[in-house]
Each structure stands twice: as structure tokens, then as C-alpha cells.
């Protein structure tokens, strides 16, 4: 009999979705909308300061579903390797201070002018081996995110969930997991079997929709859940069957959505979540 909207108990706002909000604005937006969790971005955290950001989300009672993002592990040579390790150790420490157990990794693309995809993938594995014990010490899990193959050259040489699991399974489950982001994996003919295989390795479930046409900057082509071609209900069921009951984080890169008032975006997120991802 109540007009109250049902609380979306597993929904999290990835803060890139409201890119024009500062961290304090995003925290307040979640409180106003009744969204119980937030996925933070390091650049936004840096604007506020890590300690202050941690205090804000804690006092707001929000869970921090993930920190985005570490990774970029493919630079060649000792300098590139050293810089990547140092940066990812800082990211792990920030994640711990912010109270999240998940650091999302975008592993990096091919170095400039390189065609050595095999070599770049080997460097990812090597640096994961260096980072994993530190992650374990800090109680934060490295979550390898396979990116859509159209980002293989420039952003992530890990392109499928199966490939991410091949990497993750070299390490203890509490140290290295995987991200299932609908946009990046929806097309994969092995998706169902790889989600089943992933089980407890699933560290994060991120959602947005595949919409066409792709814009000139393909990074910004993602749509609200329900606006495109992805069958979210089935994907959510597969994740549930695999044992994943954690946060469902809405992460959208889209100029039009970024230029929409944040409160409107959060209202759409909640509606679409109930309609397409998980029944209320």
C-alpha cells in the first residue's frame, strides 16, 4: 500500500556515471536516492583527499563497492614496470583506507608502436604476481576486468572473462578476482560457462547497455540498462547461480548521461535496475 519505492538493496552508483558530481555530491546523491553503495574513482577521491573521502562515505553509511582503478601493467622495461607497481600499491592502500575490498584493474593496452600482444599479456601476469601478495596483506582483492575486444590495442589486453580467469586462478581467490561488466562481455559465446566457472572469483558485477551506433569516441557509447541489446535478467541469473550476491554497480560512460542532472540519472538507474536487472 506504500508509495515508497522499493530499496534497491544491491545497487551501487559507480561514480563515473555522474561524472560531473564531486565525491561529496555523489555521496549525497546516493543518500537522497536511497542507493546504499558507491564505486569510487581515484581522481575524484584525490580531489577530496583520501582521508576525507573515507570519512564522508563512512559517516553517510554507504558501502564502497569498488575503487576504480588500478592496472595499466603493460609498459615495457624496468622503469615502466617499477612505475606501474608503485602506482598500484598506492591504489591498493587507498582502497583499504576507503573501506572497499575490491580494486578494479584495467590492465592496459599495447605500448606505443608495439604489435607484441603476447608479450604485453605476459607482463600483466608478471605484475599481478608481484601485486597479489600485497593485495592479500591489505585485505583488498585485485579484480581483473576484461574489456571489450575493441579496446584491446589501447586499453586492455585482457579481452574475455575466460582469459581473466586464466590469470586470476594462478593466485589465491582472496587476492585476485574478476569483474563481470555487461558491456564488455555480453557478446561472448562462452559467457554462461565462464560465469559458472568464475564462481567465487567474481569480485564485481558492473552493468550498462550496448547501444548503437557507437560514437566517434567508442569509450563513450554505453547506455542505461534497458536502452540496448543486453539481456540483463539472464546475466544476473547466471551470476546468482554462480554464487555472486554482491553489489551491482552501474558504470556508464556517456556524454549525454553525464550532462543529465545527477538526481535524474539515479532515478533512471533505480527504475532500470528493477525492470531489467533484478526484480524488486
Using alpha carbons only, give the angle 230, 203, 246 rounded to the nearest 5 degrees. Answer: 75
Number of residues counted as binding a second copy (CB under 8 A) = 35
Site for a second copy in 118-137 (CB under 8 A): 121
Show the site string, 134-173: x = touches a second copy by CB under 8 A, - = not. Answer: --------------xxx-xxx---xxx-xx--x-------
Task: Report if residue 188 touches a second copy, rule: CB under 8 A.
Answer: yes
Nearer to a second copy, 13 or 248 (CB): 248
User: C-alpha dihedral over 90, 137, 249, 49, to 10 degrees?
Assistant: -30
Q: How far is the CB of 162 from a second copy (least distance, A)?
A: 8
Q: Which residue in the set 41, 186, 244, 247 belongs to the binding site for a second copy (CB under 8 A)? A: 186
CA 185 to CA 150: how far, in whole Å? 11
Task: Report if residue 117 touches a second copy, rule: CB under 8 A.
Answer: yes
Q: How far is the CB of 269 from a second copy (least distance, A)?
A: 19
Show the site string, 202-231: x = touches a second copy by CB under 8 A, - = not. Answer: --------x-xxxxxxx---------xxxx
Task: Report if residue 116 touches a second copy, rule: CB under 8 A.
Answer: yes
Report the 10 Å Cβ neighbour count for 152.
Answer: 16
Long-range contact set of residues 225-230: C-beta below 8 Å, sequence gap at least 24: 225/182, 225/250, 225/269, 225/272, 225/273, 225/276, 225/277, 226/272, 226/275, 226/276, 229/186, 230/182, 230/183, 230/186
CA 233 to CA 275: how far, in whole Å? 9
What residues make contact with a second copy under the rule CB under 8 A? 110, 114-117, 121, 148-150, 152-154, 158-160, 162-163, 166, 186-190, 210, 212-218, 228-231
Amino acid at each position: 500500500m506504500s508509495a515508497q519505492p522499493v530499496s534497491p538493496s544491491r545497487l551501487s552508483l559507480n561514480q563515473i556515471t555522474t561524472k560531473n558530481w564531486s565525491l561529496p555530491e555523489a555521496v549525497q546523491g546516493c543518500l537522497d536516492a536511497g542507493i546504499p553503495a558507491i564505486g569510487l574513482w581515484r581522481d575524484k577521491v584525490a580531489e577530496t583527499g583520501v582521508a576525507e573521502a573515507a570519512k564522508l562515505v563512512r559517516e553517510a553509511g554507504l558501502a564502497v563497492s569498488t575503487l576504480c582503478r588500478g592496472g595499466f601493467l603493460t609498459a615495457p622495461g624496468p622503469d615502466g614496470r617499477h612505475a606501474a607497481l608503485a602506482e598500484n600499491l598506492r591504489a591498493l592502500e587507498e582502497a583499504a583506507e576507503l573501506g572497499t575490498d575490491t580494486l578494479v584493474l584495467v590492465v592496459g593496452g599495447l605500448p606505443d608502436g608495439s604489435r607484441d600482444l603476447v608479450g604485453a599479456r605476459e607482463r600483466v601476469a608478471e605484475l599481478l604476481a608481484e601485486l597479489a601478495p600485497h593485495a592479500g596483506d591489505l585485505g583488498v582483492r585485485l579484480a581483473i576486468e576484461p574489456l571489450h575486444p575493441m579496446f584491446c590495442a589501447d586499453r586492455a589486453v585482457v579481452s574475455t572473462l575466460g582469459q581473466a580467469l586464466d590469470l586470476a586462478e594462478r593466485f589465491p581467490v582472496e587476492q585476485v578476482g574478476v569483474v563481470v561488466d555487461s558491456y564488455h562481455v555480453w557478446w561472448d559465446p562462452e559467457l554462461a560457462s565462464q560465469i559458472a566457472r568464475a564462481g567465487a572469483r567474481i569480485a564485481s558485477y558492473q552493468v550498462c547497455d550496448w547501444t548503437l551506433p557507437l560514437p566517434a569516441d567508442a569509450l563513450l557509447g554505453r547506455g542505461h540498462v534497458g536502452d540496448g541489446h543486453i539481456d540483463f535478467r539472464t546475466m544476473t541469473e547466471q551470476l546468482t547461480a554462480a554464487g555472486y550476491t554482491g553489489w551491482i554497480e552501474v558504470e556508464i560512460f556517456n556524454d549525454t548521461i553525464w550532462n543529465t542532472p545527477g538526481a535524474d540519472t539515479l532515478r533512471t538507474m533505480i527504475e532500470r535496475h528493477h525492470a531489467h536487472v533484478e526484480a524488486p
